[in-house]
Amino acid sequence: MKLMPAIVRVENLVKEFRTIERREGLLGALQDLFHPRYRTIRAVDGISFEVRAGEMVGYIGPNGAGKSTTIKMLTGILVPTAGTVTANGYVPWRDRAAYTATIGVVFGQRTQLWWDIAVIESFRLLKKIYNVSDADFRARLRYFDELLEVGRYLHTPVRKLSLGERMRCDVAAALLHNPPLVFLDEPTIGLDIVAKENIRSFLREVNQRYGTTILLTTHDLSDIEQLCNRLIIIDRGRLLFDGELTALRDQLWREQAIRVFLKDRDQADVLERLQVPGATCERLDALTYRLRFPRAERRVAEVIRAVVNAVEVRDIVIEEQSIEDVVRRVYLGEVLQEARR
């Protein structure tokens, strides 16, 4: 992969919010009135990363990790407490008007379309705002209709659309001016499998065709698996991991397991007596066993060969560790070292 220039550069980004800490009871409420106790919350606590042109980056973390706050600073809505951001050559919050002309944003939980009027009216407003030519406008509407099938909703008021239909229109609206940089905050939230797949393939297609850089947050890890070559994990405002998905999996998936289904009971004794070096054998039920061994030391093929040479098996299943398992372990605090850049 040739190295593209960095399009987004984030350095030591910090965002603090000040909230009033409420005291309990009536007396407490009165005290709050005259001497409020403030508490400072660090939603984002010193995050740094870069995104190169044409990359598709997944930005994930448990609820309250600071994902949305980061996105809001990257899109110029919020002003950070400390740290710097440059994106498309702008400082987002300082050059808001010029900068926002060069990006597209989708907030999955909110619509940017006008609620009570037909979708096409919102599109026409966006066309004027971003100064899209008539020819480009028509061509892109056709293109969006091909991939997202938004054509038949264009004349329906947004409030009458289903969530999936609305989200497709929202994604189309964010890309109407063909921005080089797109932020998506939970673009697949609440969608069914077909709608999700539809949006994913659209994003893939746009990324390939126009080299659009995409940064997305999600709780659905299949979004990451299918779209992103790179993953950034944050929690409590701090960066936990930044690297390729495969690197994360390699690092945390230290133990491989295979499940062995035996032909009959006689084979059970043989298997239990069999010593595969480095592997531990665990009985799941009368005819099913699980063998576990370190991925770094034993190859799956070796272990399987040793097993089938010794016993008669009905079947063998290689247990894949899902991305969910890997990420769950990161969220639960599994230490990450080497893959951190």
Candidate segments 75-83, 145-153, 161-169, 264-272, binder of another protein by CB under 8 A = 75-83
**Is 72 a residue that touches another protein (CB under 8 A)?**
yes
**Is 253 a residue that touches another protein (CB under 8 A)?**
no
> Which of 213, 256 has the CB closer to another protein?
213
Could you tell me how many residues of this chain bind another protein (CB under 8 A)?
33
CB of 126 to another protein, least distance (A): 8
> Which of 130, 210 has the CB closer to another protein?
130
Longest CA span, the chain = 80
> Which of 159, 341 has the CB closer to another protein?
159
242-281 in b/e burial notation, b at 16+ Cβ within 10 A?
bbebebbbbbbbeebbbebebeeeebbeebeebebeebeb
> Which of 98, 317 has the CB closer to another protein?
98
321 vs 77, 112, 117, 298, CA distance in Å? 38, 38, 47, 17
User: What is the rounded CA–CA span in Å between residue 141 and residue 155?
Assistant: 13
User: CA 289, 294, 297 angle in degrees (round to 5)?
Assistant: 125
Instruction: Check residue 211 and give left, alpha or beta (phi > 0: left; psi -120 to 50: alpha).
Output: left
User: What is the rounded CA–CA span in Å between residue 172 and residue 148?
Assistant: 8
User: What is the rounded CA–CA span in Å between residue 174 and residue 110?
Assistant: 13
125 vs 84, 121, 172, CA distance in Å? 32, 6, 14
Candidate segments 122-130, 226-234, 247-255, 312-320, binder of another protein by CB under 8 A = 122-130
Q: Which of residues 137-166 bind another protein (CB under 8 A)?
A: 157
**Is 341 a residue that touches another protein (CB under 8 A)?**
no
**Is 185 a residue that touches another protein (CB under 8 A)?**
yes
> Which of 43, 311 has the CB closer to another protein?
43
**Near another protein by CB under 8 A: residue from 70, 75, 212, 213:** 75
CB of 67 to another protein, least distance (A): 10
> Which of 89, 277 has the CB closer to another protein?
89
**Is 39 a residue that touches another protein (CB under 8 A)?**
no
**Is 78 a residue that touches another protein (CB under 8 A)?**
yes
DSSP code per residue over 126-192: HHHHTT--HHHHHHHHHHHHHHH--GGGTTSBGGGS-HHHHHHHHHHHHTTT--SEEEEESTTTT--
**Is 55 a residue that touches another protein (CB under 8 A)?**
no
Site string for another protein, 82-121 (x = CB under 8 A): --------------xxxxxx-x-x-x-xx-x-x-xx---x
**Near another protein by CB under 8 A: residue from 4, 30, 79, 296:** 79
Q: Which of residues 271-330 bind another protein (CB under 8 A)?
A: none
CB of 65 to another protein, least distance (A): 13
Closest to 5 measured CA to CA, from 71, 68, 50: 50
Dig out the tokens for 34 from the structure.
């005259």
Contact present, 79 and 14 (Cβ < 8 Å): no
CB of 203 to another protein, least distance (A): 18
**Partner residues linked to 50 by β-bridges:** 9
- Can you give the binding site for another protein, defined by CB under 8 A? 17, 68, 72, 75-79, 96-101, 103, 105, 107, 109-110, 112, 114, 116-117, 121-122, 124-125, 128-130, 157, 185-186
